[in-house]
Structure 1
Amino acid sequence: MAFARGFTSLTELSLPFHRHRFLASQFYQTLFSKRSLGRISTTICCHRYPNSALRKRRAKFRILTSVELDQYVTSDDEDEMSEVFFEAIEELERMTREPSDVLEEMNDKLSSRELQLVLVYFSQEGRDSWCALEVFEWLRKENKVDNETMELMVSIMCSWAKKLIEGEGDVSDVVDLLVDMDCVGLKPGFSMIEKVISMYWEMDKRVGAVIFVKEVLRRGISYEEDDGEGQKGGPAGYLAWKMMVEGNYGDAIRLVIDLRESGLKPEIYSYLIAMTAIVKELNEFAKALRKLKSFARSGLVAELDMENIELIEKYQSDLLADGIKLSNWAIQEGSSSINGLIHERLLAMYICAGHGLGAERQLWEMKLSGKEADGDLYDIVLAICASQKKRGAISRLLARFEVSSSLRRRKTLSWLLRGYIKGGHKGDAVETVVKMLDLGLYPEYLDRVAVLQELRKRIHLPGNVATYIDLCKRLYDANLIGPCLLYLYIKKYKLWVIRML
């Protein structure tokens, strides 16, 4: 790869997603052969000239410009650069003519190696970076930019951006650099915007990353669009993704919403990223809530009072409202091809929040958009609706039951049964168990036990004894339980009745 090993601003620049890694030693191994070694400064000093005037000029060049780029560089078939190379450097530094005019004049006399070293020379600290950009633009127009030269210039640009960020440079200067890069036709094989965001992020300058994204959107700088299938193709989406990966779900959500509401226009994919962050936040919140309830049942913490319950519900409602807002923006500004992805995320939100009817609606919306949800998602939504006893939704979700395979039917009825158990609807749970037995679809052991235990707790209530006995008989006939004894104590007569089932 094309850059100097000893020049610290160009050393090992890691690009996004680890696709590229510039290795300093590769540049000189590729650009030069290994036949001989020598310092450029030594070469300049020891080179033999035909006359004293050239010796004086080169000595002056060495003193004033310091062309030492690396501790050691190799040469190809000769130990020195041509005289034209040094003449080009001197002429470019005078800035009396346009760089393109100077290079045009010396075009046939400069080798590809020397043209690359002109770039490296003007990329050094203290040199005119504008000149390096002008040289690259001329090379591109003359069709002299090969992959190696492109990678060299990309390395230089990354170095400049890194120095600006490290040196607390103004964000607008970094953005100006990207604009200049685009103007000269530098097109790296990765997103330079994402690279800069990563630099801010890795240097723990998170506020700077946000300001940079806002400036890029404000100026309307072009970037590669995403394909809607996981490509982080824009500044807002990429920064939100970085936040989400670190678990800062709330920050990712607020970033995208604030950008949109402040009049900027984040890319469509950023809405999908923010919706994914909402799903993850709702999921983590649900886990924490279940753990809190288990602590309350074990007596480790107090039961949740009404005020806390209202706060919990409000937090979930606010997250869902943000999700709906983001989905509306995505539908308005995006194409119909992403509607399935939008409704898929809305479905996940409603599932995590335990909203059965909302989740059921998204299932049908997904189907209408051409993105059919798998059977497990239908079953999960069915269980939520069963726990809330939404009979209309249950009937609609079971409409596909008749055309399902026996394995799919068993799974569907098992989820329905678990939903009824969780919601405490024992009568519906018993009916589901009986229906499964009638169809020859035996319930899972834990599901059977859960239903029997729930009936046993309420056996003293009117009608529960008969229900319990009938269910035990059905389970015994299906060879799912062994014989059991039923003990009944009649307090008025102080009488115990024991019956074999």
Structure 2
Amino acid sequence: MDSAHGFTSLIQLGLSSPSSSFSLHRHPIFAPPICQNLAGRFYPRVCPIIYCRHQNPYFIVTKQSKFREFRLFKSVELDQFLTSDDEEEMGEGFFEAIEELERMTREPSDVLEEMNERLSARELQLVLVYFSQEGRDSWCALEVFEWLRKENRVDKETMELMVSIMCSWVKKLIEEERDVGDVVDLLVDMDCVGLKPSFSMMEKVISLYWEMGEKERSVLFVKEVLRRGIACSEDDGDGHKGGPTGYLAWKMMAEGNYMGAVKLVVNIRESGLKPEVYSYLIAMTAVVKELNEFAKALRKLKGFAKDGLVAEVDTENAGLIKKYQSDLLAVGVRLSNWITQEGSSSLSGVVHERLLAMYVCAGRGLEAERQLWEMKLVGKEADGDLYDIVLAICASQKEASAIARLLTRLEATSSLRKKKSLSWLLRGYIKGGHFDNAAETVFKMLDLGLPPEYLDRAAVLQGLRRRIHRSGGLETYLKLCKRLSDNNLIGPCLLYLYIKKYKLWIIKMI
């Protein structure tokens, strides 16, 4: 009797007396396919017609009582949607339409077509609300919406109403921990009837899973969408197509789970599914962030070791550190190869930009320099600061050829730009402990009339002094002191030299 409940709930069947005989004859039209509504109940698409042999001929259902009966089926949608003015707007045609649709003896489109002239836009919206309630045939609401769309009667308010209804259905399925396949089925049905919200329903579902703490189920949902091959890419405005895999990876990355985002994309790709190309870029960004965080942790560790708080990194741990960085870089390169294979040439510049960021974070000077030129070849010019950072990395590793290539771009730049780039070069040499090269850079800057900053000058002098104590070699230090003094960057210096063999102190003013 469930199938008849919706019909009999709208109108009260009047009986002549309590003792009157009342019998129902069920005449099945045909054996219909069974569909399940969102409340978990099964309804046939076409129900048996129920005939009342003895009805009270004096039974009259007024419009007012029908309205009150309609309000009995309260739901979130009804409470939010119905107003006090709706009572006047709900005519007899509205209730007849509900009754005919509840009978399920004809296609909803046929019923609505027949009563088209008798139903206002508001009444059609109320029909949607009615069938969206728990216990009703939810598929009927979708069919009503499809008919409205075909008749070009879906305005902004109706679209927003249907989207709200769909979102509530999706949320209910997730809250009830229904199979992810049921959620995907609902989204497919939504697409079939032409419901196109202004946002991505895929992203909405992933967000709902995520906010409810169902992170594993969000992964299963994405895999199910990909397994079915559902088209769900969204344009981000720059010509890049996003999708569920990339969005879920982004959600993970936003929480700081960078490796989780990388593993998600890689595992989906290697399992035989085909995530959207844009997800590879998201994963490459996660690799960059992981390398950056790892580099920060290493700097802190070295600082603690320098202060004597922890032991120095031994050979074994140094090898593990290097391997971890190498593995991350290898994953990033693999992701870039997938983009090249499956994506368009317009993504080449972005790919090289991500690779550049990866190599910079890992401190790989030569590889980073190569990506700078690769970007230039595809028409994407890197920012000048990136050239300076790569220059400093190459200087710290004393990569003479790369340094020479990078310095060629300074010939046509302004004095301010030259000073900034040479300062980065100087700091790179200082970081790598190459103080002779650092001194030569200071000389070059002085020749160009671009004196280095005080802290940079002091760092070079300090490094050269330490080297004198360890291995001797005064010439570079004396030359640097004289040049700085000549440019009024330091005052006169007194140099004390002790010759142990002769027990002789020599004092010289520079």
Corresponding residue of 1:91: 100
Question: Partners in 1 of 2:395 and 2:81 — Cα distance?
Answer: 75
Query: Do structure 1's residue 412 and structure 2's residue 418 form an aligned pair?
Result: no
CA distance in 2, matches of 1:490, 1:71: 95
Q: 1:228 touches 1:338 (CA, 8 Å); kept in 2?
A: no
Structure number with greater Rg is 2
Matched, 1:487 2:493: no
In the TM superposition, what is the alpha-carbon distance from 1:460 to its structure 2 partner? 4.1
Distance 2:315 2:465 in 1: 30
Assess if the C-alpha contact under 8 Å between 2:485 and 2:492 holds in 1: yes
SS of the aligned residue for 1:434 comes to: helix
| Structure 2 residue aligned with 1:193 | 202
Q: 1:353 aligns with which of 362, 369, 389?
A: 362
Q: How does 1:28-177 map to 2 (within 5 A)?
A: 52-55=58-61, 66-68=72-74, 69-70=78-79, 73-76=82-85, 79=88, 81-177=90-186
Instruction: For residues 61-89 of structure 1, give each alpha carbon's deviation from its aligned partner in whole angstroms, at most 9, with x where no partner exists.
Output: 96699444328943549636211111111
Residues 233 and 276, structure 2, Cα contact 8 Å, conserved in 1: no
Q: Is the 8 A contact 1:383 1:420 kept in 2?
A: yes
Shift of 1:464: 2.0
Residue aligning to 1:265: 274
> Cα deviations across residues 133-171 of structure 1 (Å, max 9, x unaligned)?
010011111111001000000000000000000000100
The answer to whether the 8 Å contact 1:61/1:90 transfers is: no
Q: Which amino acid aligns with 2:285?
A: T
Cα shift at 1:426? 1.3
Q: Deviations over 1:446-500 (max 9, x none)?
A: 1100000011112246662122111100000011001111111111222211111
Contact 1:88/1:106 (8 A) holds in 2: yes
**1:219 aligns to 2:228 (yes or no):** yes
Residues 79/259 of structure 1: CA separation in 2 closer, same or farther (3 Å cut) = same
> Can you list the C-alpha shifts for 1:197-228, whole angstroms capped at 9, x where unaligned?
10001111000110111111111111233358
Paired amino acid for 1:123: S
Q: Unaligned stretches of 5+ in structure 1?
A: 1-50
- 1:351 touches 1:381 (CA, 8 Å); kept in 2? yes
**What is the CA–CA distance in structure 1 between the aligned matches of 2:261 and 2:451, rounded to whole Å?**
46
Aligned to 1:206: 215
Shift of 1:58: 8.2
Deviates more, 1:417-426 or 1:178-187: 417-426
The equivalent of 1:403 in structure 2 is 412
With over 3 angstroms needed to count, the CA separation of the structure-2 counterparts of 1:71 and 1:307, relative to structure 1, is: closer
C-alpha contact (below 8 Å) 2:94/2:119 kept by paired residues: yes
Q: Does 1:394 align with 2:403?
A: yes
Shift of the 177–78 alpha-carbon distance from structure 1 to 2, 3 Å rule, reads closer
Determine if contact 1:232/1:238 at 8 Å carries over to the other structure: no
CA contact 2:241–2:277 (8 Å) conserved in 1: no
1:343 is matched with 352
Q: Counterpart amino acid of 1:261?
A: E
For 1:292 and 1:263, locate their aligned partners in 2 and report how far apart those are by CA, in whole Å.
40
- Please report how far the alpha carbon of residue 53 of structure 1 lies from its aligned counterpart in structure 2 after TM superposition: 3.8
How much has 1:419 moved relative to structure 2? 0.9
Aligned-partner Cα distance in 2 for 1:72–1:221? 32
Structure 2's unaligned 5+ residue stretches are 1-56
State the Cα distance separating 1:97 from its structure 2 match. 1.0
Which residue does the alignment assign to 1:310?
319
Aligned to 2:9: none
CA contact (8 A) 2:89 2:123 kept: no
Say if 2:307 is the partner of 1:298: yes
Give the structure 2 partner of residue 439 of structure 1. 448
Contact 1:279-1:352 at 8 Å conserved across structures: yes
For the Cα contact (< 8 Å) 1:228–1:269, is it kept in 2? no
Amino acid at match of 1:269: Y
User: By how many angstroms is 1:440 displaced?
Assistant: 0.9
Residues 226 and 269, structure 1, Cα contact 8 Å, conserved in 2: no
1:251 is matched with which residue? 260
* TM-fit CA distance, 1:303: 1.0
The alpha-carbon distance between structure 1 residues 84 and 427, as it changes in their structure 2 partners (threshold 3 A), is: same
- 2:233·2:241 contact (CA, 8 Å) conserved in 1? no
1:87-121 deviation digits (Å, cap 9, x = unpaired): 11111111111111111111100111100000000
Q: Share of identical aligned residues, percent?
A: 76
- Residue 236 of structure 1 deviates from its aligned partner by 0.5
**Is 1:468 paired with 2:474?**
no
**Matched residues in 2 for 1:79 and 1:58: separation?**
9
SS at match of 1:464: coil
| Residue aligning to 1:329 | 338
More off after superposition, 344-353 vs 482-491: 482-491
Count, aligned residues: 451
What residue in structure 2 maps to residue 25 of structure 1?
none
TM-score (norm 2): 0.85
- Cα distance in 1, alignment partners of residues 305 and 151 from structure 2: 75
Instruction: Name the structure 1 match of 2:24.
Output: none
Distance 1:383 1:337 in 2: 30
Larger RCO, structures 1/2 (Cα 8 Å, 6+ apart): 1
Please say if 1:478 is aligned against 2:451.
no
For residues 78 and 204 of structure 1, what CA distance do their matches in structure 2 show? 42
Give the distance between the partners of 1:63 and 1:417, measured in 2 at CA: 84
1:423 equivalent to 2:418? Answer: no
Question: Does the 8 Å contact 2:200/2:234 carry over to 1?
Answer: no
Amino acid at match of 2:432: G
* Partner secondary structure for residue 273 of structure 2: coil
Corresponding residue of 2:384: 375
Q: For 1:98 and 1:168, how far apart are their aligned partners in 2?
A: 32
Matched, 1:452 2:458: no
Using structure 1 for the length normalisation, give the TM-score.
Answer: 0.86
Q: Is residue 352–residue 375 contact of structure 2 (8 Å, CA) maintained in 1? A: yes
**CA–CA distance in structure 2, aligned partners of residues 462 and 291 of structure 1:** 30
